[in-house]
Structure 1
């Protein structure tokens, strides 16, 4: 089975007992062929995306590495209700798949920022705010924020861009009680994860969480969690002692890919194929983070 995503055609696996139902940029979802089994099989691929395009080639072992990292974080946060379900994984995807409960996913990306950088830094330079939240004057790119910020985004329909929204808009979308629950849970999980990362000599600069509700209405942490694709990690020593933004904020993710594309593509038409060294260096950064965390 094949699917098309932003001009890239990818092959969905044939997995005995499971029916392919959806493919995102980097993950594929399967439903059980047993009508009484409501679990979902979430398979992480080696695909890599940037600037809303799926790129070629993929990053070798990326799916397995990020699944390993998600599983490790779910274990660290074992008291937080999550989407994981019991059962044996199909052997062909056991290293890069998770069995998950079928949830009603909430249309909110729960972004938490502990440091100012990226789009937040761009906005701050223009208006002194991040996602509309006023911040003290004089902050520099990469600085730690006075306290972590919950800056939600609306998960747009497939093919459209996600949109940063206010907390008030979140209330409109999911109700006041659920919005407060999302904010509280996101900030609490970020604070715990940042402390764990700090003990490993790492800074968790920002991250995003996704949540869904089960049949009983319980809020559950879902999707990938605290991976290199959903989070920005920096080396704490480099951040403290670096003299340039690139030195201070060298992240353990696909920033190498973004930087190469920004320098070699005008964002018109299909993106070019990634060079071998860019692919290899990106894979090495994914692996280095896992080794640093001890995941």
Structure 2
């Protein structure tokens, strides 16, 4: 067999085995790596290159080595799941870099991080003043987690005492102009509903690049033709406006009648509707 053909076959074999072993090792192997996972990834990649190019040795020996590395890595991951000591040994511990707004210089030296590097990492977290940081820790993966001081944290509805409705995963029902039946069925909808919604928006399915339905059944679309502007769904806003109009009408009826029993009935209905509006408003203002 010619050398070039053998190398091509070995490379294809190494690629296939490497793909299978990486799938076995899981998603952590392609995300933030620990020290041992980093070593494992480099070593398995080097062995795969050896299997592809070294024609003087038996190719299966490289596959044996790759398999051993994979088994050892899986064994260590199992130990880490069962033991905190094993996690500390192989992954290391987090290091506090800023505590109560004070930079821990000794810990910076321990991790061999300069002040410039620290500020660079803070800027990546949209923090430009170290004084704004309450707590910062370097994770075993090398990433830096930052907790801002109370006065510098972003304002949320919880800070304002506002209740908001829950948000679930939106379902992509149209992709590249094609209807995705499975996501539609997941949220209990069908093609007839989708056709009706597209007709309301005045667009055809062929012109829709991406279509998503949120947890409240509202359809959002992005078109191939970027010059066309599609109005945003107004169902929730229209429903809230209708409820408020009904409340105002009940109050007006109560003021316009002189019959006490009727006036009292309208007032009670108005108060009941007002209570309902307060309960559903978090779901309708999102």
Give TM-score scaled by structure 2 length: 0.19
* Structure having greater relative contact order (Cα 8 Å, sep ≥ 6): 1
Larger helix share, 1 or 2 = 2
Larger strand share, 1 or 2 = 1
Larger radius of gyration: 2
